[in-house]
Amino acid sequence: DTGVSQNPRHKITKRGQNVTFRCDPISEHNRLYWYRQTLGQGPEFLTYFQNEAQLEKSRLLSDRFSAERPKGSFSTLEIQRTEQGDSAMYLCASSQGTGGRNEQFFGPGTRLTVL
């Protein structure tokens, strides 16, 4: 079990550019979540996948955001036309099963800075 990994760990971009982040969950986990964490706040839910299906999106996920999980394995989160307000830590988590009691395992996050 190598845990959840995320790449890159840090990304600095200019406003208006597109960025893409990758998350590799724990291999047997069927659920994958994306959260966003801004300074001094707890993580906020963005979206989740069960296997390859994206089943729910938060209102925080504007049209500039898109996420995929092809083949139910790794996931990508793309932000188009980045804005300074997108600067945050983007966290990925995975879990096994469908119950609320199941632990979500978090990756180290990708810190995005938009200049």
DSSP letters spanning 64-101: TEEEE-GGGS-EEEEESS--GGG-EEEEEEEESSS-TT
- Residue 70: how many CA atoms within 13 Å on its side-chain side? 2
For residue 79, the minimal CB distance to another protein (Å) is: 20
Pick between residue 70 and residue 99 the one whose CB is nearest to another protein.
99
Residue ranges in contact with another protein by CB under 8 A: 4, 31, 33, 35, 40-45, 48, 55-56, 91, 93, 95, 98-109, 111
For residue 80, the minimal CB distance to another protein (Å) is: 23
